[in-house]
Each structure stands twice: as C-alpha cells, then as structure tokens.
Structure 1
Amino acid sequence: MSAIPILRRPAGARRMHLRPAAAVLALLAAAALSPAPARAQAADTVADTLAEPPASHHALRLTAGGVGLTLGNSRTATGIRINLVDHQVERVTGLNLTLWKPKANPDLVVTGIAAGLVGPRAKRIDGVALGGIGVMASEQLNGISAGGLIVLSRNEINGIAVGGLAAVAGQRLRGVAAGGLFAVGDHGIDGVATAGLITLSEGDVHGITMAGLGTIEEGRFTGINLAGGATFTDGEMRGVSAAGIATVVRGRLQGIGLAAGTVNVRALDGVAVSAWNNVRGEQRGLTIGIFNYARTVHGLQLGLLNYVRSNPKGLRLLPVFNTGF
C-alpha cells in the first residue's frame, strides 16, 4: 500500500510558494486605492515614480499651539485633518479623513484614526484605520483596521484586520484577521485567521485558522486548524486539525486529526479518525476508520480493514483491529 499519488511530492519538486496568491490580493488593493485611471496604470511604474511632481501642501489651519483643525493637503497635522486627496503627507496625529483616492504617501505615519470614503494609504498606521473600499500600508498596520473590500499591509499586521474580500499581511500577521474570501499571513500567523474561502501562510502558524474551503500552511503549525473542505500543512502539526474532506500533514502530526474522507500524514503521535487513515511512516497512538494504513504501529488500528506494512506476512492485513507484531 502507498500514499495517494496526488498527495505525494514528486522527487525533485520544489516546495510550493504562496507569495503569488498574496501578490494577487495586493494588486486588488492597489487598484482600489490607486488614484490613476486604468489606462495610466499601464505606464512604467518606475518612470512614473521618478517623474512624479512634488505635491502642493496648501492648507487652511485653524489651530492653537499647533493643535486643531486642518483643511487641505498639509504635510503634517495634529488634531483633525480633512483633505480631498492625500499626497506626499508625512505625519498626522489625531484624525485624518481623506475624502477620495489617496495618491502616493510613502512616508506617512498616522497615529490615531485614519479614515476615508475610498480608504487610507500610508506607510504606517497606529490606531484605527477605516476604508470604504480598503486600507493599505506599505510598512505596518498596528491596531484595528477595516475595509469594505480589503485590508493590506505589505509588511506586518499587528492587531485586528477585517476585509470584506481579504485581509493580507505581506509578512507576519499577529492578532486577528478575517476576510470574506481570504486571510493571508505570508510569513506566518500568530493569532487567529478566518476566511470564507481560504487561509494562507508560507511561514509558521501559532494559533487558530478557520476557512470555509481550505487552510494552507507551508511551515509548522501549532494550534487548531479547521476547514470545511481540506486542511494542508507542509511542515509539522501540533494540535487539532479537522476538515470536512481531508486533513493532510506532510510532516508529523502530534495531536488529533479528523476528517470525513482521509487523514494523510507522514507520521502520527496521537489520534486520527476518518474513513481512510493513511500514516506513511510511524504511528504512535490510535487510528479509527474504515481502512487504516501505517508503515509501523506502536498503538492500535480500529476499523473494517487494518494494514501494518512492517508486520509479518499473515498479520499485515487484519479485520476489526491491528497493531505492531
């Protein structure tokens, strides 16, 4: 007996990479928050950046001691700042309200609340970020962020991020992320990630992931992994992994694996329950299913048919139960 061919990595095959998926979501956010029309976006972005004229920073300031109300594209502000289109803004402490699509703000740090009918676009936002379409940060989102379509940080998200379509951290996600379709912590997740379709991570995960269709983690997973369709962990799994169809761990599962269809792991320390439990290496613990397979068993198989490859001939395939002899 051998593992399902489709679940085995061919010799010499490279490990899958999730960055393309995150990149697609990033493009969606950039398109939503970009100030240029579609035909202008086709131009060379490097040349556009070099040729970008300096912004005008004309503004009306109603302040006392530098604190108060600022109307217009001021470079900095403390208090309440309201502007039509932010462009080359550097620092806002307080409330920053942008009424339309922001232009490039590569140095903007907002401490407080950043909000926009389309959405804020900054280097870093510390506090609360709200966007009718999306929220975008080139460095970090720290605090609470919510976007009608997407919340995107090219680097880290620390806090709570909720996107109608997706919540994406280009590097590490620490906190809670919820996306209508996708939740992505490209370099790892520490906390909770939930999505209507898929959660993705290329790094290690510590916490809870939940998805309507599937969860994909390319690193090690410690915690609880739940999916309506399938859970896939490329590294080791410690905790509970449960899925409606399949639970797949290419490394060792230390804990509990549950699925209606199959639990497919390299090695097992714990319990696996499914119709077909496929332990490609060593099983230490219990498997319960219709058909159980393991290379070696230090524990017990319970099912209609039970196969232990290392057993002597005549004891390899047994009904009801099997163990290592």
Structure 2
Amino acid sequence: MIRATLLALLFTMLLPILAFAETDSLPAKYLSLGSKRAGFCFGNSPVFTGFRFNGLNKNVRRLNGFDLALVNLDQKGASNGISLAVGANTQHKNNGLAAGGLVNAIDHENGIMLGLLYNVGDRLNGMGASVFFACDTVNGLAIGVGGVGRRGMDSLGAINGVAIAFAGTITGTMNGLAVSLENVSDKHRGLAVGVYNNTKRLKGIQIGLYNIALNNPKGLRRLPLINMHFGK
C-alpha cells in the first residue's frame, strides 16, 4: 500500500521526465556499442551486459553490469550489478547496489539499497539506508534517519540484524539490536536502546528512560532506565 502511494505521487511529480523519456526510450529501442547484448548501451535494451544509459527503463528483463537512468520502472526483471536512477528506482530484484534519487523501491534486494528519501520493499538481504526506511523483511542493517518501519502497518514485519533510526523503529519482530528514540515491536529478541522501548514479548534487554515489556510479571512490565526478560 505504501509503495503504491509513493509511486503514484512520484509519477505525478516526474510526469515531465516520463513524457520525455518515453519518446526516446520505447521498449527495445536502443543503440549498442559492441555486440547486440553487451558493451555500451544507450536506450531501453531488454537484456544487456555492460554499461547502459537510458531515460526511462521499462519492460527490462535482465541487466548485468552498470545501469544509469532518469527513472527506472523495471518491476518484473532482475538487475545484477549497479542500478542508479535520478528520480525513482523501482525493480523486482536487484543483486548488488540499487540507488534512487527520491525513492528506491525494490521487491527483493540482495546487497545495498540507498534512497535519498524513501527505501521500500518486500525483502532486503544486506544493508539499506535512507531518510525513511520501510521493508517487510530485513536480514542485515537498516538505517532510517526519519524512521525504520511503518507505524500501524508493521505487525507482520521482521528485522533480523540491526536497525538504527533517529525517530523510531517500528516492526513486528525484532531479532537483534534496535537503536532509536522509540523502539516498538510485537516481539523483540536482543537489545533495544532508546528513550522509549515497548514490546509485547521481550527476550533480552531494554535500555531507555521508559521501558515496557508486557510479558514480564506485574510490577516489572513498565520500568525506568532498564528492563529485561530472559524466560519464555
């Protein structure tokens, strides 16, 4: 839902760029310096290995190498290497580095996700950093200056690794270290460091001004400075 909303807003903002790119970058219209599918490419090649430069990436099945575009709308294909987009970078799968000037929306990322404003996706295996970070499943490191997770929408989300944010970390299951002003989860196994820590089921330690572990006995569920639970 959040991804669809973001893409709709971006489409409105980037409509002039999309209109220009569409005229010069129709599917399968490209110039290749080298072989048909390898070398240096200028345009919208569906399959290519090497360096590709394009206005609007669309209906691309696979890229191996370096890709630079104004807008990337590859929602079904796969990119192996470095994928950069000045505006929005949307892909089904990336193995390597994916970066978007405004939004980086990757369904499955194995590597590094960088978004100037937003990082959104289904699964990240690796590292991601942006102002706002929202991935359903993170295996690795998630950094969001404005926040990691989506308040009210992440009861099924999971972070396995480290989450670092200024505003807050909101997720369903947190396995590892969470550091932010506010750490909220359904389940937390590990360490939470923040001003306010709140979880329904804690197996680990909370350090902050106010710590809530609802699976502790009465009288120990809400404590200042530190709270902990190591039982079932």
The TM-score range, normalised by the shorter chain, is: 0.7 to 0.9
**Corresponding residue of 2:49:** 93
Q: 1:196 to 1:62 in 2, by over 3 A?
A: closer
Q: Which has the higher strand share?
A: 2
Deviation at 1:61, TM superposition (A): 4.7
Give per-residue Cα distances to partners, 1:241-296, cap 9 Å, x unaligned: 1212x111012x11110222x21112249xxxxxxx8517xxxxxx6659x9xxxx
Matched residue count: 214
* CA 224–29 in structure 1, closer or farther in 2 if over 3 Å, else same: farther
**Post-superposition CA distance 1:212-268 (Å, at most 9, x none):** 1111112x211001112x11102x211111212x111012x11110222x2111224
Alignment match of 1:205 (pick from 151, 154, 159)? 159
2:175 matched residue in structure 1: 222
Residue in structure 2 matched with residue 25 of structure 1 by the alignment: 6
- After superposition, the Cα gap between the structure-2 partners of 1:96 and 1:191, relative to the gap in structure 1 and judged at 3 Å, is same
Q: Contact (CA 8 Å) 1:29, 1:136: kept in 2 or not?
A: no
CA distance in 1, matches of 2:30, 2:108: 32
User: What root-mean-square deviation, in Å, do the aligned CA atoms of Structure 1 and Structure 2 show?
Assistant: 2.9
CA distance in 2, matches of 1:81, 1:36: 19
Counterpart check, 1:141 vs 2:94:
yes
Return the offset for 1:161.
Answer: 0.8
Instruction: Confirm or deny that 1:164 pairs with 2:116.
Output: yes
**Residues 180-259 of structure 1: pairs in structure 2 closer than 5 A:** 180=131, 182-186=132-136, 188-200=137-149, 202-218=156-172, 220-228=173-181, 230-234=182-186, 236-244=187-195, 246-251=196-201, 253-259=202-208
Counterparts of 1:57 and 1:184 in 2: how far apart (Å)?
Answer: 33
Look up the SS of the partner of 2:221 in the other structure: strand
Partner Cα separation in structure 2 for residue 94 and residue 173 of structure 1:
25
Is there any run of 5+ residues in structure 1 with no aligned partner, and where? 1-19, 38-54, 67-75, 270-276, 281-286, 299-325
Q: Residue 24 of structure 1 aligns to a residue in which SS?
A: helix
Query: TM-score, normalized by length of structure 1?
Result: 0.59
Percent of paired sites with the same residue: 23
Shift of 1:120: 3.1
Counterpart AA for 1:248: N
The one-letter code matched in structure 2 to 1:191 is G
1:173-214 deviation per Cα after TM superposition (whole angstroms, max 9, x unaligned): 11101012x11212x110011111111153322101111111
Alpha-carbon distance in structure 2 between the residues aligned to 1:142 and 1:80: 20
Name the CA shift for 1:58/1:163 in 2 (closer, same or farther; >3 Å).
Answer: closer
- Distance in 2 of aligned mates of 1:36 and 1:115: 15
Contact (CA 8 Å) 1:32, 1:133: kept in 2 or not? no
Q: Secondary structure at the match of 2:8?
A: helix
Q: Distance in 2 between matches of 1:214 and 1:60?
A: 47
Q: Rate the CA distance shift 1:250–1:61 in 2: closer, same or farther, 3 A.
A: closer
State TM-score, norm by structure 2. 0.80
Matched, 1:81 2:31: no
CA contact (8 A) 1:249 1:265 kept: yes
Change (3 A) 1:33 1:77: farther
Partner of 2:2, secondary structure, is: helix
Map residues 99-138 of structure 1 onto 2, 5 A cutoff: 100-102=55-57, 104-105=58-59, 107-116=60-69, 118-122=70-74, 123-137=77-91
Q: Distance in 2 between matches of 1:243 and 1:210?
A: 10
The one-letter code of the counterpart of 1:254 is K
